[in-house]
Chain A
Amino acid sequence: AQSVTQLGSHVSVSEGALVLLRCNYSSSVPPYLFWYVQYPNQGLQLLLKYTSAATLVKGINGFEAEFKKSETSFHLTKPSAHMSDAAEYFCAVSGDNDMRFGAGTRLTVKP
């Protein structure tokens, strides 16, 4: 079964600094990978997805992620953090019938 592991339950950055949220996956087949964002008291919103078309995937709000098969990773980055990026971020992998999520990383942005 597919699974993802997010490294770091909390990440804190200063406004304007690089954001790096880590995700490693386990899959016996080429995976479909996703990053979702959750703002307080809301549902999850899709940031970006990898479906094997390109290894560097660009998403909304300036985020991007790179699929690295050799490292089984799909880390999320943003060059310059904004206060509005403060949220919880989830990595997910989908199989034939289900989607499995990581435990989440809470991003704090300091002024």
Chain B
Amino acid sequence: NAGVTQTPKFQVLKTGQSMTLQCAQDMNHEYMSWYRQDPGMGLRLIHYSVGAGITDQGEVPNGYNVSRSTTEDFPLRLLSAAPSQTSVYFCASSYRGPTEAFFGQGTRLTVV
């Protein structure tokens, strides 16, 4: 039982590059979300999805795009990377709505 799988685990980008962080869950969860974790700031919500085809913005959506074409996958796209996007990114899923979230292992992103 894989749970929530994030790839890659580590990534270094140059300013202005774009990339996609992958997230997949095998628990048939309706709700998925992306957070970024920065020291002293806890986790801040970037985007979330309540089901396939439905996404919405969280607290800090600027510079990021998401889509949800299937129940299982919820990729996060950085359009033009900036040093301020250096962070650890976590994907999470839950059965229905934002409760009892299961988290992936995280992606540590550095933008130089």
Report whether B99 and A100 are in contact in the complex, using a CB–CB cutoff of 8 Å.
no
Kindly list chain A residues whose C-beta atoms are within 8 Å of the C-beta of B33: 98-99
Q: B94-112 interface mask toward A, CB cutoff 8 Å, 1 = contact, 0 = none?
A: 0001111111111000000
User: In the complex the two chains form, is B45's CB within 8 Å of A100's CB?
Assistant: yes
Q: Kindly state the interface size class of chain B when it binds its partner.
A: 20 to 34
B-facing residues in A72-111 (Cβ within 8 Å): 90, 94-104
Do the beta carbons of B105 and A43 come within 8 Å of each other? yes
Query: With contacts defined as CB atoms under 8 Å apart, how many contacts are there between chain A and chain B in the complex?
Result: 61
CB of A103 to closest CB in B, whole Å: 4
Contact of A99 among B4, B101, B104, B105 (CB under 8 A): B101
Closest chain A residue to B45 by CB distance? A98
Interface residues on A, range: 20 to 34
B: residues with CB less than 8 A from A are 4, 33, 35, 40-45, 48, 50, 56, 58-59, 90, 92, 97-106
Interface residues of A (CB under 8 A from B): 6, 9, 32, 34, 36, 41-46, 49, 51, 90, 94-104
